[in-house]
Amino acid sequence: FENYPVPQGMDETLEEWNFRPVQTEEEPFNELSIAIGQHSNGTFEIKIAYDPSLYPQEEIGTVENTFTSILQSMAAQSDARIKDIRIVNEEEQTELIKLGMGERMEYAPPETLVSLFRAQAAKTPNNIAVVFKDRQLTYRDLDDLTDHLAAYLINKYHVQPEEAVGVMIERSELMAVYPLAIMKAGGAYMPLDFTFPEERLQYMCQDANIRLILSEEDRVKQAMTGFKGEVFMAEDLQSLPANTDRLPKPLPSQRFVILYTSGSTGKPKGVILEHHNIVIFCHWYIREAAITQEDRLLAFSNFGFDTHMMDIYPALFTGASVHILSSDIRMNMEAMNSYMEQNRITIAFLTTQVGHLFATSFNNTSLRLLTVAGEKLQPLKKPNYSVINAYGPTECFVSTFYNITHDYDSALIGVPIDNYQLFIIDESIRLLPRGMAGELVIGGEGVARGYLHPLENDTNKFFMFMGQRCYRTGDLCRWNEQGELEYLGRIDTQVKLRGYRIELGEIESQALKYDGIKQAVATVHDEQLLCLYYAADCDIDEGTLKEFLAQSLPDYMVPAAYIHLDELPLTPNG
């Protein structure tokens, strides 16, 4: 009960007081409130009051179970540290493990990218494997040429098993030729972008101990004047001696590629992928996309970007053809759409922003499937072909997927692909219940071997969890009630402004719900000014936009400045 003041002398005016019990039920004042009370017998009672229009009963059930698990853990271990207190019980843990488990795919263990290509080349030797401009290679052509080059790499340059070999080329059929030849020789190829600064290229080559680069023309001489190793030129491909030697057979556990990503220390770091990491993806993608030898796949990705493997390898394991876009067409949307339709391209991968722009700008008539990946997908009206929103860091390649079957207006990245295991954890490496946001951890056959030369702050990225080797993504995610993953942003993009903790992704998500806005990025300038950059296909009244955001965000999360751009800038990878 509560005491309220009454006017002085009021008690003198009342001759008689009457009391009777009245049953009342208090409406929750807050959206969610939790009250804990103790009974006379020492037991505790937890009451949860909530607004059912905001919180489904299932979510409240999760809150109830979490409180119960925490209290039981505290009672059982009264001296336990907070980070050691369990948040989920055994039953919930089993359910969460099952929730994050991809379907199990069984395949022949000795399979490698080399063995899969050889098997397909034997089945469809006369099919067109690779197309670039007016040049074509059949599966027999590609198999023979890469055999000859692989033998030459071993005999002339003494390439050793797992040795890193650089590849510096312009976009062409060499994107398939050089990697296959290096893998057949037992080595691992390493893309080198000749547009990078020389200092960065030199560091990568020294870091990976590169002594041989496969290239063309004088690209290495122009891009790396200080390179002291050997260079094989594309002009020498036609004069290679015929291969009569038996080539080595790489193992599934051997590394086949080193891909460099930006590092937090300012120096790029090399990610080592093994054959089995990508073989499982190829099997899944071939099945999910129903790829056959009748398909024509577009090779759009930057050769140094991990998705070049999605462009090339699944096609070469099914008898399909890969059409490699030239640089002048690759970033010209209209020319790219014309190329697709003229060459009857059926399957394409595009980076998220490019894919979104393509799907919303053109009514393509040849595609049956578009896959996008690379960042958070913005709201998309479903085109007349299938769309997959894929997710995965370089360290695990593609890990999850979401089939877009209707207009997309969410943050869903879907479910794990075959032979992957996903977890959501907190800072203390504890499993989190469904609906609770935490860091996404990836386990399974796609997890890379690791970094080439890990620094001290890299050592905790790959670790053992729940009995398997996993990778900490740094991405903030949660399971929704349908058992699908929602991507919420980066755990390291959280900012503090005037003492308040702010997730920039939440501001961006709300801004994208405003009619006309197609791209949005929130950021903080000078640690004090919250800004929103946006691209829109119509004029936006920023005052109205601010009022719209204030309807769903607290005052401290409503941006103070708004900057309208025609398009948000793209990186070379799209």
Q: Does any domain span residue 552?
A: yes
Q: What is the pLDDT of residues 199-228, one digit of tens each?
A: 889 999 999 999 999 999 999 999 999 999
Q: Is residue 419 part of a domain?
A: no
Q: Comparing C-alpha atoms, which of 566, 574, 524, 530 is closest to residue 550?
A: 530
Count other C-beta atoms under 10 Å from residue 73's C-beta.
17
Residue holding tokens 């073989």?
279
pTM: 0.80
Residue that finishes a domain, picked among 53, 71, 86? 86
Nearest to 431 by CA among 79, 66, 48: 66
Alpha helix segments (H runs only) across 348-449: 352-361
Report d(CA 418, CA 557) in Å as an integer.
39
Gap between the Cα atoms of 390 and 373, Å rounded: 5
**Does 276 map to a domain?**
no
- The DSSP secondary structure of 355-366, one letter per residue, reads HHHHHHH---SS
In the beta sheet, which residues pair with residue 412? 486
CA distance 97 to 86: 15
Do the domain assignments include residue 554?
Answer: yes
Q: How confident is the model at residue 499, as a pLDDT? A: 41
* Residue 531 CA from chain centroid, whole number: 26
Amino acid residing at 304: G
How far apart CA 301 and CA 299 sit, in angstroms, is: 6
> What pLDDT is stored for residue 500 in this prediction?
54
Asked if the structure places residue 32 within a domain, the reply is: yes
Report if residue 346 sits inside a domain.
Answer: no
Q: Is the CB of residue 391 less than 8 Å from the CB of residue 373?
A: yes
| 418 neighbors 457 (Cβ within 8 angstroms) | no
In 418-528, beta strands by DSSP E: 420-425, 438-444, 450-451, 462-465, 468-479, 485-490, 494-497, 500-503, 517-525
- Cα–chain center distance at 154: 36
Half-sphere CA count of 23, side-chain side, radius 13 A: 0
Taking the C-alpha atoms of residue 101 and residue 110, their distance in angstroms, rounded to an integer, is: 24
Tell me if 211 sits within 8 A of 192, measured CB to CB.
no
- How many domains is the chain built from? 2
**pLDDT score of 331:** 85
Domain of 559? 493-565
Phi then psi dihedrals of residue 210, to 5 deg:
-80, 125
Which residues of the chain fall below pLDDT 50? 1, 266, 499, 501
Contact 535, 517 (CB under 8 A): yes
Phi then psi dihedrals of residue 543, to 5 deg: -65, -40
How far, in Å, are 437, 475, 476 from residue 487 at the CA level? Answer: 9, 7, 6
For residues 173 and 132, the answer to whether their CB atoms sit within 8 Å is yes
Q: Which of 86, 107, 123 is the last residue of a domain?
A: 86
Tell me the HSE value of 231 on the side-chain side, using a 13 A CA sphere: 21
Distance of CA 383 to the CA centre of its chain: 22
pLDDT of amino acid 139: 98
Closest by Cα among 401, 379, 376 to 390 = 401
Length of the chain: 574
According to DSSP, the residues that pair with 477 across neighbouring strands are: 438, 487
Residue 141, in any domain of the structure: no
Q: Report the CATH number that the domain containing residue 533 is assigned in CATH.
A: 3.30.300.30
| pLDDT value of position 1 | 45
Identify whether 520 is part of a domain: yes
DSSP 191-228: E--TTS-HHHHHHHHHHTT--EEEE-TTHHHHH-TT--
SS3 assignment, position 138: strand
What secondary structure letter does DSSP report for 408? B
Classify 480 as helix, strand or coil.
Answer: coil
pLDDT in tens, 523-568: 988 767 899 999 998 899 999 999 999 887 777 789 999 999 988 8
Name which of 125, 128, 180 is nearest 151 in CA terms. 180
Rounded-to-integer distance, Cα 474 and Cα 470, Å: 12
Give the pLDDT of residue 12. 57
Q: Which among 39, 69, 86 is the end of a domain?
A: 86
Q: What is the DSSP code (8-state) at residue 308?
A: H
* Phi and psi at residue 77, to the nearest 5°: -135, 80
